[in-house]
A and B are shown apart, each in its own frame.
Chain A
């Protein structure tokens, strides 16, 4: 493995997508918050993952 940023980046992209899927499919929220936290956290992880992948690509070029 050459660059650790690729597995980390792709992992968080997948996690982000899964949270977005959860946001669109799950309607029951826990007692103290709402299902919309899946949206925000999903987006945050997606962005983090993409940034990691971009850094890896820039590092390679």
Chain B
């Protein structure tokens, strides 16, 4: 792929814009609270788009295209099962407590609801995880640009890190959120033409269906059910009849309930966007409005992967390229761009890749600096300082966060094993959290000791399951007593067991320890919180009605592509 002058001009224009937005926002950000939490001031359409953009990192985009080619429509489960239900639960049930408690972060909610140790545990694991995930995605982006464009790894890592650093340093969370909206539009408008052209070239959706079926019939172990690429649920009856190697129960419970909800309801990275909204009503609407575009994202990110298989079946070279005894799925997106985008549009596509990377990284950086400043620095290092002091700490933490991410990127570059291992662990380290937040918000008897014991039990169960089970030749360090059909099935089952252990231990320990007095539970627990009522608002501003609409549409999508 050889970008021309115009492509570089487009990329440079984008860089100027993100820096310009950071500079314009800077004038509005005068206090530490505004820098770290946006001071509850952002309109709902902005928070909604930022809510999905922050999850739409470069790895997500490249990975979803890759999964589309590897697993076909089964990948849609990550949206219609693994995201929409979690977003509905956040908007309808959980946001009133996050927003109503006036906590500045998800760990701080745990402090208000439970105790210091539960908060500390969550804050520290979260901070470590955000640094490593932004480092890993930085490395992945640098590697991609190295392979595709021949750029030196260091150049793309330092360039993108420097730009993210400047605009988050200048305008903090508001700057990150505003840029995420620009990035969201750029990602959609930059990749949608690719999807349309690739599907068109493969003969439309019916062409894609026919060609992927022909391909699977001839080149896979699924000759019995070759249409497996274009169905979401039909072959979920047994793990051996679909490429994911997952059966319906693991999918439904592991991905839909545990992993989907623990990510979308408890990961501060995304929850922070809803908490920045300008009112309680806006904060509840944020994930619900975001669910509409989220539900349609497979058109942009999964369809190109399926089309790539169809084009490969048509003997078009250069899209699905071999790697060892399989294919290099991670290169499909950029290969498609090289095949379909002329100079000009190619610049837009590359800029969209940078945009997706920056939205993911800025999300990590802004979540990291809030959690570090308020949940680690303010609680363990220096209490009761002035807002100006925490403002300064927040800014220094922003710089430190970016530098640590760069360090993590180079560390990940040392060995593929480190990266695979970290991604495996990040897959389920959040899993028990959903049990903790769910019990904390809806069962007033839950105690701090209970929550803490539950979290430890959840992580212990995850580690033990990973140690005693094997999948695709990984895990099973303590002797594999069970072998999963695929790494994905293993990941889902680790999450299920981790969630269940957390639930059981939290309940058992809570029953034998002393609960918080009712007076301290106001705005934190269901039953002691004034739930928002909406009688006099138009229908499109009613969370429950929107939830019903988006939930029904999501079920219809599942049935349509059953």
Chain A residues engaging chain B, CB cutoff 8 angstroms:
1, 4, 7-8, 11-12, 14-15, 18-19, 21-23, 25-26, 28-35, 37-38, 40-42, 44-45, 48
How many residue pairs link A and B with beta carbons under 8 A? The number is 96
Q: How many Å from the CB of A24 to the closest CB on chain B?
A: 10
Q: How many Å from the CB of A21 to the closest CB on chain B?
A: 7
Contact, CB under 8 Å: A11 / B13: yes
Q: Which residue of B lies closest to A18 (CB)?
A: B10
Q: Report how far A35 CA is from B20 CA in the complex, Å.
A: 31
Which residues of chain A are near B344, meaning CB under 8 Å?
18-19, 21-23, 26, 35, 38, 42
Q: Name B7-39 residues within 8 Å CB distance of A.
A: 9-10, 13-14, 17, 20-21, 24-25, 27-28
Contact, CB under 8 Å: B342 / A26: yes
Contact, CB under 8 Å: B25 / A1: yes
- Sorting the interface of chain B by its residue count into under 10, 10 to 19, 20 to 34 or 35 or more gives 35 or more
Q: Which residue of A lies closest to B343 (CB)?
A: A26
Contact, CB under 8 Å: B21 / A1: yes
Q: How many Å from the CB of B228 to the closest CB on chain A?
A: 27
Q: Report how far A9 CA is from B436 CA in the complex, Å.
A: 43
Among A14, A21, A37, the residue within 8 A (CB) of B342 is A37
Q: How many Å from the CB of A7 to the closest CB on chain B?
A: 6
Q: Which residue of A lies closest to B27 (CB)?
A: A1
The B interface is mostly helix, strand or loop, or mixed, namely helix
Interface string of B339-360 (1 = CB under 8 A from A): 1111111111000000000000
Contact, CB under 8 Å: A41 / B17: no
Most A CB atoms within 10 A — which of B6, B24, B342? B342
The A interface is mostly helix, strand or loop, or mixed, namely helix
Between A and B, 7 residue pairs with Cβ closer than 8 Å are A4-B181, A18-B6, A22-B6, A29-B342, A30-B338, A30-B340, A35-B344
Contact, CB under 8 Å: A8 / B181: yes
Which residues of chain A are near B181, meaning CB under 8 Å?
4, 8
Q: How many Å from the CB of B28 to the closest CB on chain A?
A: 7
Contact, CB under 8 Å: A37 / B17: no
Known: A12-B185, A19-B344, A41-B345. 13 other contacts (CB 8 A): A1-B178, A15-B10, A15-B13, A15-B348, A18-B6, A18-B344, A19-B348, A22-B342, A29-B342, A30-B341, A30-B342, A37-B342, A41-B348
